[in-house]
Amino acid sequence: MKKIQYLLLITIAFTQVSCFEIVELITLKNDGSGTFKYTINFSQSSTKIKSLLLMDEVEGYRVPTLNIIKNKFAKIGETSKTVKGISYVKTESNFTDFIFTYSCHFTKIKQINSIIDSLSKKAFPDQEHQSNYFNYSIPKMIFTRIGDDVLKNYYNKLPENQRAIFNSATFTSVCKFEGNIIKQTHSKALVSANKKAILHKMNISSLIKNGNIINKQVYLKK
C-alpha cells in the first residue's frame, strides 16, 4: 500500500533499522470478494528499536513516539472505512515485537486500490491518485498484481548509508484462491502443491528501484 510504504520508508530512515519484512496476504474468492492483510514485521530489530525510542533524534531526524506511530497507523484504518465495499477493518500495533497489521474484507479487489488512493490523497493532496495495483477479471478468472516506482524518488534522495538499510529487508506477496491455479506469469513466484496459492518473495530495495518486478498474472480454472 502506497501510504503505508511511504510512512515505512521515512520511519526506517529515521530509526536506522535494517531487519524487517512486509507480508501482503490476499484471499480471493471466485466472485471477486475476499480479504486483504498487510503486515510490517520489525521483530528481528525490536531490541534496537526500543533503544532508539529512548532518544529524541537519530542523525538529525526526530524519533517518533509510540503514540505517534500508533495514531498514524490507526488513521489508516479509519480512512479506509470510508471506502465503499470495505468492511471489518482492523489495525493492530504490537509494541513488544513491533509488528503492525492492517486487515479488511472487500467485495471487489479494486476497492483495495481505492483505499490506497484515499490514503495517498490525504498525504499528497496536490497530486492525482489512481492506483491499479490489484485487478481481477471474473469472466476470465485472471488475477493481476502490478507495482510501480512511486517510492523511487524518495529512496534516491536518502543518503547511501540510509538506502543500504533496505538491502536486507524483504517483501512477500501471498495470494490464496478459491479456484485452482492453471498458470502464472512470474518465473520467481511459487505455486503451492494444491494449486490454490502463490508466493512471491523479493528484496525491498529491488522493489523500490523497480516496481515492475512484482508484476504477474494468475490464471484460475473456470
**In Å, what is the CA distance from 129 to each residue of 6, 16, 111, 123?**
14, 30, 14, 11
- Cell readout for 1 is 500500500
Each residue of 100-148: pLDDT tens digit?
A: 899 999 999 999 998 887 776 665 555 566 678 999 999 999 999 999 8
Residue 103: strand, helix, or coil? strand
Residues 2-37 pLDDT 10s: 445 545 544 554 455 557 889 999 999 999 999 999
163 pLDDT band, cuts 50/70/90, is confident
pLDDT of res. 103: 94
Task: Specify whether the CB–CB gap between 37 and 172 falls below 8 A.
Answer: no
Low-confidence winner among 57-66, 73-82, 158-167 (lowest mean pLDDT): 57-66
Find all residues with CB under 8 Å of 20, minimum gap 6, and list them. 12, 40, 41, 42, 44, 45, 169
Residue 26, pLDDT score: 97
Whole-angstrom Cα distance, residue 43 to residue 39?
Answer: 12
Mean pLDDT of 88-95: 90
Number of H helices, E strands in the chain: 7, 13
- The mean predicted confidence, pLDDT, of the chain is 84
Rounded to two decimals, the pTM is 0.86
Is 70 exceeded by the pLDDT of residue 40?
Answer: yes
Q: What's residue 63's pLDDT? A: 72
